[in-house]
Homo-oligomer: A and B are copies of this chain.
Amino acid sequence: GDDRRVPYEVALLPGDGIGPAVVDAALPVFEAVADRHGFTLETTVFDWGSERYHSKGTMMPDDGLDQLEGYDAILLGAVGDPSVPDHVTLNGLLIPIRKGFEQYVCKRPATLFAGIESPIQNHTDDIDFVVYRENTEGEYSDIGGREHRGTDAELAVQSAVFTRTGTERIVRQAFEAATAREGKLTSVTKSNAQAHGMVFWDDIVNEVHEEFPEVEVERLLVDAASMDLIRRPEAFDVLVASNLFGDILTDIGAVVSGGMGLAPSGNINPTMEYPSMFEPVHGSAPDIVGQEIANPIATVRSGAMLFEHLGESSAAETLRTVVENHLADAAAPRTPDLGGAASTTDVTEALEERIE
């Protein structure tokens, strides 16, 4: 359409570990799709991460968010390195972007594709749900501390904060998604043991439910939900959960639908006021760095979510179809996590060929 912002300006944050490898490999795939759909991408690489932390003392510059603010979207590889404590790397780069850009929806689909084996018995391609994870507050609030260090009285407090604003907006997004899908929403809490924060969450779900009376709401406790994602993953459609519970549930979702090598995610600011950030769910995987065997498909699928977010729905659809056909093709190259012996770029080259 006329209002297309072409070229789209995309900030690349390859980050640590296998992050650079999967971003580098996925980029030509994204360019091929853009080309086929008549738009272009203009990418800028930001070399922020643990190496920068060692040389300059911080994961990103102080004005990092200002530098990113003008971009149409952000693609992130991975953050984390064994040489730096995880709470330093993550609180220095990934989490400030999620919070600072109010990317309050962390959207993570779990889809078992034809050709992919679930570790769970008796599933073929019947798993297809999406988790709406709160992404800016809750159990990830940076509130707490430690007192009486080194004495018998020592204690640490970690406070989860749930605001009406923060809870309503993620719950509303999830109801909207449920409306657009099968009209069923599963809200996951731990209200039986956390009567302050989680009962509040339940109340907000009740209130927002009134705006979406046609949606059927199921409530599960996080322990039961974790089991049910294993026992009956096919029964779920849209789930909504707090930051921490969403984190756990989406990792379970990734593993039951074929593993971390495939799982995409979007950290989305639905108001478009700030850029959204797309990233594979997997981490920096230091154990396989430099081996050229990282599966690029999680990043490619994150790119499809990025295109969708930019309004390039047919490009997103192409990318999804290409991945689906690739995975269904027993002769197509696969990285070792999927039982193959192909390299990262073997896979992306095969995807590019399918696009052309």
What is the chain B residue whose CB lies nearest that of A140? B193
Pairwise interchain contact A165-B193, C-beta atoms closer than 8 A: no
Cβ-based interface call for A164 (8 A): yes
Q: A130-166 toward B: CB 8 Å interface, digit per residue (1/0)?
A: 0000000001101111101001111111111111110
The interface residues of chain B lying within 8 Å CB-to-CB of A40 are: none
What is the chain B residue whose CB lies nearest that of A166? B155
Pairwise interchain contact B163-A197, C-beta atoms closer than 8 A: no
- With A and B bound together, what is the CA distance between A159 and B141 in angstroms? 11
Oligomer copy total = 2
Given known pairs A87-B193, A194-B140, A196-B145, the reply for A161 and B155 (CB within 8 Å) is yes
CB < 8 Å neighbour of A86 from B87, B91, B142, B192: B192
- With A and B bound together, what is the CA distance between A91 and B139 in angstroms? 21
The interface residues of chain B lying within 8 Å CB-to-CB of A221 are: 86
Given known pairs A197-B144, A226-B252, the reply for A192 and B90 (CB within 8 Å) is yes
The interface residues of chain B lying within 8 Å CB-to-CB of A119 are: 120-121, 230-231
The interface residues of chain B lying within 8 Å CB-to-CB of A95 are: 193
**A345 nearest CB across to chain B (Å):** 26
What is the chain B residue whose CB lies nearest that of A90? B192
- With A and B bound together, what is the CA distance between A192 and B340 in angstroms? 32
Closest 7 CB pairs of A and B: A144-B196, A158-B197, A86-B192, A156-B200, A154-B164, A223-B251, A87-B195
Cβ-based interface call for A112 (8 A): no
Pairwise interchain contact B190-A244, C-beta atoms closer than 8 A: yes
Chain A residues within 8 Å of chain B by Cβ, number: 67
Cβ-based interface call for A215 (8 A): no
Q: List 22 A-B contacts (CB under 8 A).
A: A85-B191, A87-B192, A87-B193, A87-B195, A91-B195, A120-B121, A139-B193, A146-B196, A146-B200, A155-B161, A155-B164, A156-B161, A156-B201, A157-B161, A157-B197, A158-B196, A159-B160, A223-B250, A226-B226, A227-B252, A231-B255, A252-B252
Pairwise interchain contact B162-A155, C-beta atoms closer than 8 A: yes
CB contacts under 8 Å to B, within A273-316, are none
